[in-house]
Structure 1
Amino acid sequence: MAVAAKNIPAPDLVPVRRALLSVSDKTGLIDFAAALAKAGVELISTGGTAKSIAAAGIAVRDVSELTGFPEIMDGRVKTLHPSVHGALLGVRDDPEHAAAMREHGIEPIDLVVVNLYPFEEVRASGAAYTAVVENIDIGGPAMVRASAKNHAYVAIVTEPEDYAAVLETLAANGGALPLDFRKRLAAKAFARTAAYDAAISGWFAEELKIEQPSWRAFGGRLHSVMRYGENPHQSAGFYVNGDKRPGVATARQLQGKQLSYNNINDTDAAYELVGEFDPARTAAVAIIKHANPCGVAEGASLREAYLKALACDPVSAFGGIVALNRLLDAEAAEEIVKTFTEVIIAPEASEAAAAIVAAKKNLRLLVTGGLPDPRQAGIMVKSVAGGLLVQGRDNAVVDDLDLKVVTRRAPTEAEMADLKFAFRIAKHVKSNAIVYAKDRATVGVGAGQMSRVDSSRIAARKALDAAEAAGHAEPLTRGSVVASDAFFPFADGLLAAVEAGATAVIQPGGSMRDEDVIKAADEHGIAMVFTGIRHFRH
């Protein structure tokens, strides 16, 4: 049942005479407290925050003095008291509220400064279950929500980044804060507690292995405001959720202009793909354009891998994203900067390589400190009208699959290595996906077509164009292998690959017409392997 409103208008300016400070993150706390005290604001505080303020020689009143009740249960209970929440929730222009405050000796609090126990950080650190639970803040969110609800009279500050704005606004308004400013602080406060609770509920779902909880909450913190979204008429922002998976969200940008919405989307796709390749086994490079790979290769060095990847589709590589699975060295950097590139992302970069990239002032260089684990579980979220689609990350890895040879001819050792390589790539190509590969390098990629046959033909056409550009007499698909992200529903897709020159095929299998496809492969002397796993990607 809804609570009826009394329709009491909120004042514009509320003088700040009393402030309650209780923070976990003490960044800027002393300077802020000193400025408030200098402005004549009485300070009330709790626990470690009060000790820090007092140690700086600033007068502060302990919350226990306000409540007449000591902190108990290791500080779990300190602000959950009517003297605190009455001071925050009281509607001062309501005669009944004002009378209750006078009767119970409740002094109004005009400014609340609270940031919460570091639940997200403790969770990300891999701490034990009990330690994570202990860092679930209760009193903090209660004060934040109470203050935000009563923003008609109370200003709520939830992070140090807002201290300067509060002081500037106080100074500009004779020690008071205007209603519009209080509303903005309240909106931010509710968003903060929502994200906090989302992190907690998400952690519980993970711990209890509840794949589809009855309620789903997602939260994130604004990392940066984009100039625009996919197109200039769309607004966009980049939010981070505290996940430590190495990638664009956790990377350090060493140089270059601000990342765009499309840069972030494409860079994430590129780095997730290159994470499929163990750097202890091989050097690998992925070149991405519009979230699809236009060239991927392995090599003895990053330079060799990059040149092999570039040869697949040098036209599409222009203005693309380059992802590497090892430290970017000078030799690779020298080759990469010869082609206009938007972003380079790698686990690390040598000083010499960074200096080479620095000559291209707009080229972004990101280092992540590690690679994403392709086997790691996680969730992926996509918005649809009226709701969200939530699914587990596609963490199937071809090395872990039980591959089944279904044709009379088995792949050669070299073909099998290329088949596995191609299937790794197909996992990261928009469906319908066809990938031709040879000598652990893509030679043709067909992506995002409504017909799998069209994807096969486009990939073959790309390979022919690349061969002509490189001066080869025949298309690069001659003697290649081919991977399909899903089964061939008819033999025509396979026959298109045969026509392009492929000698072996890897696909999930599972079609009603598998026998027809196998028969066609046998008739043309093609080796075919079933994976039993599909890699649709939309």
Structure 2
Amino acid sequence: MSDKTPIRRALVSVSDKTGLVDLGRVLAAHGIEILSTGGSARTLRDAGVPVVEVADYTGVPEMLDGRVKTLVPKIHGGLLGRRDLPDHLAQMAAQNIPPIDLLVCNLYPFEQTVAKGAEFAECVENIDIGGPAMIRSGAKNHDAVAVITDPAQYGDLIAAIEDGGTTLKQRRHYAAAAYTRTATYDAAIATWFTATNGDADPDLRVTETVPPQTGEMFPARLAIAGLKHQALRYGENPHQVAAFYTTGERPGVASARQLQGKELSYINILDADAAYECVAEFDRPAVVIVKHATPCGVAVGDDLASAWDAAFAADPVSPFGGIIAVNRVLDAEAAEKISSIFIEVIIAPAAEPDAIALLARKKNLRLLIAGGLPDTAAGGLGFRSVAGGYLVQTRDNGMVARDDLKIVTRRAPTEAELADLLFAFRVCKHVKSNAIVYAKDGVTTGIGGGQTSRVDSSRIAVLKGGDRIAGSVLASDAFFPFADGVQAAIEAGATAIIQPGGSMRDAEVIAAADEAGLAMVFTGMRHFRH
């Protein structure tokens, strides 16, 4: 006995008309009655596919500008009625509700409407009500009903129709995809509605942590939506499985087009994201080199080629097999210099044709074009998983400017030192704590981080920098708890220090700097990165 369930009646109501006509012709060729609504019905009818308008089928006209057209018993009864229960069948017969065996439905383009920056009212109008209701009804009754929510599923459905019908396994697979779609759709709406400005009281004081529409950044129930971008070969290690999901929130790895090279790995994506977020911090042409999610060479220059030379010279060993991010259109001169060594990934907002052609010789090098730079001052949320849950916080978009600095030593920093101090502190924000960054003339000269002791990070930075450290400034992501960190900087030849301040021993730290003639400024802002 076949386990295939034949399809006799289908309801088609789609926003995305991709592949609709081809599907409709297959349904009609197999004698399947097609019920349809609005634009879907017109598209099919114009292609010569016979359809029955839902309003004619139900006897209930569309109303409220189309907001109500499928929210009627004859539709939901046809989807929800169980074929294995005589009582259900009797009620359906008494109410003249024929069964519906197939639902083809994709939703109003809410996510796309939000992404294009539409006004609040337009976004609300693109919240689908009838579609999710039908999808949930049909998917609940998947023992009898096949629910298709994506044109990518049409090929599998057509093959099933031509083979006599859908199997229970197929319908359960469709149902799982259907509920995932409605869940992510509702999550996108919830996330937008929580954060959007909407029709808030213009006198309401809006802050980064209190969005005006609902007055709360962290609601009691948090909805997270993501679109599967690609399956990955494996995770951090070959025995782990992984996939990449995108939210469309900001330019970067998620928005990038890969022009060439092997498939990105889990670690490639993490490293490219770390590099691109860092390079976006700088207004001048900049290059960031990352290994293991940590910058190893960062420089600004008059152009990308000179910035690359300086960033590479800052640590000539680590860049091999690294990830490179630039904040300007990648030109051929810079591309040629970068590709002279083994590089895994280059990510840029754009690239000149000559640069693309030049890099094409390196078949394994991945070139990512992000289309823009992330706004480092923008808000948003970041997520970290822990056993049994998530930690959620606002993005570290803190910025320190010259006017924010407090000079705490007898000697004030020079203009050149001030520029390097601010540069180093921005790099520090992207180095794992405890973070120490030495810099000179807009180039990192030594980076140490990810250690349990700030002194150890200082020693590593000096070890990596060697003779380049002399005459550099030093940035620390958090305060120095003891004067020994400053002493290490003095011994390395640093001339100025930038740090948040706030230690109980600040006076000792300042005294050590004064004794050596160092300039020191406090930011009042910490940049831990765990």
| 1:8-23 correspondence runs (5 A) | 12-23=3-14
- Counterpart for residue 163 of structure 1: 154
- Counterpart for residue 523 of structure 1: 515
- Counterpart for residue 108 of structure 2: 117
Q: What SS is found at the alignment partner of 2:373?
A: coil
Distance of 2:280 and 2:309 partners within structure 1? 19
**Candidates 189, 193, 198, aligned match of 2:182:** 193
Structure 1 residues 366-393: Cα deviation after superposition (integer angstroms, max 9, x where no partner): 1122111110111001111111111000
- Counterpart for residue 41 of structure 1: 32
| 1:449-528 correspondence runs (5 A) | 449-464=451-466, 475-528=467-520
Distance of 1:47 and 1:71 partners within structure 2? 9
Query: Offset at 1:165?
Result: 1.0
Instruction: Note if contact 1:270-1:286 (Cα within 8 Å) is conserved in structure 2.
Output: yes
- Counterpart for residue 209 of structure 2: none
**Candidates 354, 364, 368, aligned match of 2:356:** 354
Query: Offset at 1:13?
Result: 2.2
Structure 1 residues 148-173: Cα deviation after superposition (integer angstroms, max 9, x where no partner): 1111111111111111111112223x
Instruction: Note if contact 1:344-1:365 (Cα within 8 Å) is conserved in structure 2.
Output: yes
Query: Offset at 1:241?
Result: 1.6
Does residue 247 in structure 1 map to residue 252 in structure 2?
yes
**Candidates 422, 447, 450, aligned match of 2:449:** 447
- Counterpart for residue 471 of structure 1: none
**Candidates 64, 87, 94, aligned match of 2:85:** 94
Distance of 2:273 and 2:245 partners within structure 1? 14
Q: What SS is found at the alignment partner of 1:315?
A: coil
Distance of 1:255 and 1:520 partners within structure 2? 53
- Counterpart for residue 412 of structure 2: 410
Query: Offset at 1:341?
Result: 0.5
Distance of 1:442 and 1:272 partners within structure 2? 17
Q: Which runs of 4+ in 1 moved over 3 A?
A: none
- Counterpart for residue 313 of structure 1: 315
Q: What SS is found at the alignment partner of 2:433?
A: coil
Query: Offset at 1:524?
Result: 1.1
Amino acid across the alignment from 2:497: V
**Candidates 225, 228, 244, aligned match of 1:222:** 228
Structure 1 residues 434-464: Cα deviation after superposition (integer angstroms, max 9, x where no partner): 0000110001100111111100000100012
Distance of 1:185 and 1:160 partners within structure 2? 12
Does residue 74 in structure 1 map to residue 79 in structure 2?
no
- Counterpart for residue 296 of structure 2: 294
Structure 1 residues 457-514: Cα deviation after superposition (integer angstroms, max 9, x where no partner): 00100012xxxxxxxxxx1000000101111111111111111111100011111111
- Counterpart for residue 266 of structure 1: 271
- Counterpart for residue 469 of structure 1: none
Q: What SS is found at the alignment partner of 2:437?
A: strand
Instruction: Note if contact 1:504-1:528 (Cα within 8 Å) is conserved in structure 2.
Output: yes
* Comparing 400-409 and 431-440, the one that deviates more: 400-409
Query: Offset at 1:291?
Result: 0.6
Distance of 1:19 and 1:408 partners within structure 2? 81
| 1:404-443 correspondence runs (5 A) | 404-443=406-445
Q: What SS is found at the alignment partner of 1:37?
A: helix
Q: What SS is found at the alignment partner of 2:368?
A: strand
**Candidates 17, 20, 24, aligned match of 1:26:** 17
RMSD: 1.1
Amino acid across the alignment from 1:64: A
Distance of 1:447 and 1:494 partners within structure 2? 16
Distance of 1:516 and 1:166 partners within structure 2? 74
Instruction: Note if contact 1:121-1:242 (Cα within 8 Å) is conserved in structure 2.
Output: no
- Counterpart for residue 51 of structure 2: 60
Does residue 133 in structure 1 map to residue 124 in structure 2?
yes
Instruction: Note if contact 1:312-1:463 (Cα within 8 Å) is conserved in structure 2.
Output: yes
Cα gap change, 1:372 to 1:400, in 2 (>3 Å): farther
- Give the percent of matched residue pairs that are identical in Structure 1 and Structure 2: 61
Distance of 1:239 and 1:17 partners within structure 2? 37
- Counterpart for residue 212 of structure 1: 218
- Counterpart for residue 234 of structure 1: 240
Does residue 303 in structure 1 map to residue 305 in structure 2?
yes
Query: Offset at 1:39?
Result: 1.7
**Candidates 338, 341, 352, aligned match of 1:339:** 341
Distance of 2:502 and 2:193 partners within structure 1? 36
| 1:138-157 correspondence runs (5 A) | 138-157=129-148
How many positions carry a matched residue from both structures?
512
Cα gap change, 1:121 to 1:400, in 2 (>3 Å): farther
Distance of 1:94 and 1:48 partners within structure 2? 35
Query: Offset at 1:80?
Result: 0.4
* Comparing 163-172 and 318-327, the one that deviates more: 163-172
Q: What SS is found at the alignment partner of 1:286?
A: strand
* Comparing 227-236 and 33-42, the one that deviates more: 33-42
Q: What SS is found at the alignment partner of 1:177?
A: coil
Amino acid across the alignment from 1:497: A
Structure 1 residues 45-69: Cα deviation after superposition (integer angstroms, max 9, x where no partner): 0111111111111100111122110
**Candidates 191, 197, 202, aligned match of 1:202:** 191
Distance of 1:513 and 1:205 partners within structure 2? 43
Q: What SS is found at the alignment partner of 2:501?
A: coil
Query: Offset at 1:398?
Result: 2.3
Query: Offset at 1:400?
Result: 7.4
Q: Structure 2, unaligned stretches of length 5 or more?
A: 197-212
